[in-house]
Structure 1
C-alpha cells in the first residue's frame, strides 16, 4: 500500500490535527506502508522530512491563521504523484490541497478517503460571517461525495455530518500517550515556574485562545466564584492565539490569573498533572485532545456538554459536563470540586482509567484495516480493475 496524504497542517505545526497526522504517518512507516505527505509550508520551527513531506507556498487561513492554505504548482503535484504512484489517497482537508488529491483520485480511479477534523461551520458565527454556512455545506457535500470513507473523530461529529447530508462516515477516534501524560509530578516545582502558590486550588485551561474556544467562560466562571473560595484559587490559561491580547487586557490584571503563553512537551504534561481541575468550555470541538490528555494526567475535567467533548467525558463518571456558555453551571461545578476532595478524586481516577484504554496502536490498527478494506473493495470491482489497467 502507498498512501498519499493531503493536509493543510502537519508537523512541526502544533495543533491536534498536525500531531494526529504526524503520529499516523509514523505508524504507517512502522508497518512498512509508504506514505507521502502534501502540506503547506509551516511557520513553526522544527524538523521537516523533505523526502516524506512535500511543502508548498502558503497563506494564512481566514478562520484559523495558524493553519495555512497552500498555493501549489499543479505540475509539481502531478509529477510527484506520478512518481509515487499512490494506491490510496487520503484528504485531511477539503480545501486547496485536498482538491488536488480529489482530482488525482477521480482521474486515475484511485481509492479516496477523507477525514473531517474541524467544525468550520461553527466558527462562522464567532467570526461574524454566518451567511457563509449554506455555501460551505454545499461545497462539503460536493467534495465528500466521491470518498469511499469519511473518517470522523467522535459520535457527535458523525451525527452532525449525517444531518448535513454526508455519508460513508466512520469513526476514527483519538488516543493519548499515557506514559507522557501521567499523574506523578513535582507540583511545587511546576507551579513555582509560573509564580503560582502550590497551596492554592489550581484550575487550568489549555488550548488556542480564539473566539470559538469560549475561553472567557472559564475566566468569567473563575471570577463568579464566591469571594472566600476565589481567594484560595488560581486560574492558569495556557495557550496563544488571536484572542490573546484582548483576554490579557480584560483579565490579566488579576494576580490570581496567569497567562503562560504557548506551552508544549514535558512542560505541558507536567502542568496538566499539577492542576487540581481542568476547565474546557469550548463547544466547537470535533474531539478535544486536551480533555483526554488531562484525564490521563489524573486531573478532573469540567467540560462543555457539546461537540466531541461530551463523547469523551461521561458526566458524573469520568468528569463533569456543563451546558455550553453557562457560566453559572461552570462556577457551580468548580465549587463542588473545590469542596469535595472525594468527588474530585473519584472522577480523576475514573478519567485516568478511561484514558489508559485509549491506545493509539489500537486506534491506528483499525484505521489501517479500514484503508485495506477500501483498497480491496476497489480492486475487487471488475470495472474498476479494467479502468486501472487502462490508465497504466
Structure 2
C-alpha cells in the first residue's frame, strides 16, 4: 500500500506530535511501506534529503511558535499526489497542510483517516480565548467528518470526542523506546552530574507554556515545607513562552536545562527521584511513559490521558488537577518512603516494557489495510 502523510509539525520541532510522526515514518521504512510525507518547511533542515518528503514555505503559529503554519502550493501538491497515487491519506493535524490533504482526498475520492493529538479546546482557557470554543468545535468536527477513522491516543480522549458527537473513533496509543530510556542512563550526563548529590531530584519535562498548568508547578515549589524543600533540587527540562516568567517565580533550588534530547534527556529521566507533571490537558502524556521506562515514578493530575498510564499507588500517584497541596502530600509521602519509591519505579519500568512502538505501529498498519479494503469493497459493490 502507498500512504500519504500530512502533518503541520515534524522534527526537528520538539513536541509529541512531531516525534510520533517521525517514529511512524521510521516504521513505514522498516516495513517497506511506500509513503509520501507533506509538512511545513522549518528553519532547521532534516538530517538527510528525502525524495518522498515534501515541504512548504511556513510561518510560526502565534499560539504555538514551535509549530509552523504552511503555505502549500496546491498545484504542486496535486502533481505530486497524482504521480504517487496513494491508497490512503493520513491527516494528522487540522491546519494548512492537513487542509490541503483533506481537499485533495475529498476531490479525488481517496480514503482518508485522521488523528487527534491535542485538546486545543482545553488550551483556550489558559490563553483566555474561551469565546472561541463553539467555533473551534464546529471546525474540528467538520474537519474530521470525512475520515473513515479518527485515531485517538487514549480512552479519555475518545470519550471526550464522543461527548462532542464524533464518530468512527479508533484507539492508537503511544509507545516508548525502553533501550533509550533506561535506569542505566542515571548520571550519564556532565550537566546532570553537577546537580547536588545529597538532594532528591524532582523532574518536569515538557513545553513551558500555560496549558501545561505551570502555575500549579510553581505553587508546588513555593508551598513545600521549608525542611522538605531544603532536601530537594528541581530540574525543569524544556523551553517555551513561559520560561522567562518561571525563572522569576521559581525558588533558587531550580535548574533550567532548556530542551534536552538523546542521552542527555534519558539521563535526566533516570537521574530523577520523582517525575512531577501537573498538566491536565494531555491527550496521552508521552513524557510520563518515558519517565516510567527510566524507572522513575510519576505524580500526575487526575485529568487527561496520563491517568491511563499511571496506576495510583502502584507506579505513581494521581492528584487533583490544579491542587498544589495534593501534589505536595504525594511528594512528601514518596520522599519519606524510599522503599515504596523504589517499588513504584520497578512497577513503572515493567509497565513501560509492555508498550512497544513496534506492536502499536503494526496495529496501525493493520487498520490502514482495513480502511483501504472496505473503501475498495464499497466502490466495487
Task: Give TM-score, length-normalised by structure 1.
Answer: 0.94
Q: Does 1:216 align with 2:211?
A: no
Aligned-pair distance for 1:230? 0.8
SS at match of 1:375: helix
Alpha-carbon distance between aligned partners in 2 of 1:63 and 1:288, rounded to the nearest angstrom: 20
SS at match of 1:142: helix
Bigger shift: 136-145 or 369-378?
Answer: 136-145
Paired residue for 1:65? 65
Aligned-pair distance for 1:191? 7.2
Aligned-pair distance for 1:316? 1.2
Bigger shift: 45-54 or 234-243?
Answer: 45-54
Paired residue for 1:257? 254
Change (3 A) 1:126 1:194: farther
Aligned-pair distance for 1:62? 2.4
Alpha-carbon distance between aligned partners in 1 of 2:248 and 2:132, rounded to the nearest angstrom: 31
Paired residue for 1:358? 355
Match runs of 1:191-230 below 5 Å: 193=192, 195-230=194-229
SS at match of 2:268: helix
User: Is the 2:192–2:267 Cα contact (8 Å) retained in structure 1?
Assistant: no
Alpha-carbon distance between aligned partners in 2 of 1:236 and 1:340, rounded to the nearest angstrom: 21
Aligned-pair distance for 1:13? 1.8
Indicate the RMSD between aligned Cα atoms, in angstroms.
1.4
User: Is the 1:190–1:274 Cα contact (8 Å) retained in structure 2?
Assistant: no
Match runs of 1:151-162 below 5 Å: 151-162=151-162
User: Is the 1:63–1:123 Cα contact (8 Å) retained in structure 2?
Assistant: no
Change (3 A) 1:122 1:44: farther
Alpha-carbon distance between aligned partners in 2 of 1:255 and 1:38, rounded to the nearest angstrom: 44
Paired residue for 1:240? 239
Which blocks of at least 5 consecutive residues in structure 2 are unaligned? none
Match runs of 1:325-344 below 5 Å: 325-344=322-341
User: Is the 2:126–2:210 Cα contact (8 Å) retained in structure 1?
Assistant: yes
Paired residue for 1:285? 282
Change (3 A) 1:185 1:34: closer
Change (3 A) 1:144 1:204: same
SS at match of 1:12: coil
Q: Does 1:98 align with 2:98?
A: yes
Alpha-carbon distance between aligned partners in 1 of 2:314 and 2:346, rounded to the nearest angstrom: 10
Q: 1:345 aligns with which of 315, 331, 342?
A: 342
Residue-by-residue CA offset, 1:202-231 (whole Å, 9 max, x unaligned): 100001000001123223212212111111
Alpha-carbon distance between aligned partners in 2 of 1:44 and 1:341, rounded to the nearest angstrom: 44
Segments of 4+ moved more than 6 angstroms: none
Aligned-pair distance for 1:60? 1.3
Aligned-pair distance for 1:14? 2.0
Residue-by-residue CA offset, 1:34-76 (whole Å, 9 max, x unaligned): 1101000123454143312101011111221111111111111
Aligned-pair distance for 1:255? 2.8
SS at match of 2:102: helix
User: Is the 1:191–1:197 Cα contact (8 Å) retained in structure 2?
Assistant: no
Q: Does 1:150 align with 2:150?
A: yes
SS at match of 1:125: helix
Residue-by-residue CA offset, 1:226-283 (whole Å, 9 max, x unaligned): 11111111111111001111111222xx331111111111100011000100000001
Paired residue for 1:298? 295
Alpha-carbon distance between aligned partners in 1 of 2:292 and 2:38, rounded to the nearest angstrom: 33
Which blocks of at least 5 consecutive residues in structure 1 are unaligned? 387-392
Aligned-pair distance for 1:190? 3.7
How many residues align? The count is: 381
User: Is the 1:284–1:306 Cα contact (8 Å) retained in structure 2?
Assistant: yes
Bigger shift: 58-67 or 170-179?
Answer: 58-67
Alpha-carbon distance between aligned partners in 2 of 1:304 and 1:290, rounded to the nearest angstrom: 14
Task: Give TM-score, length-normalised by structure 2.
Answer: 0.97
Residue-by-residue CA offset, 1:269-306 (whole Å, 9 max, x unaligned): 01100010000000111111000000000011001111
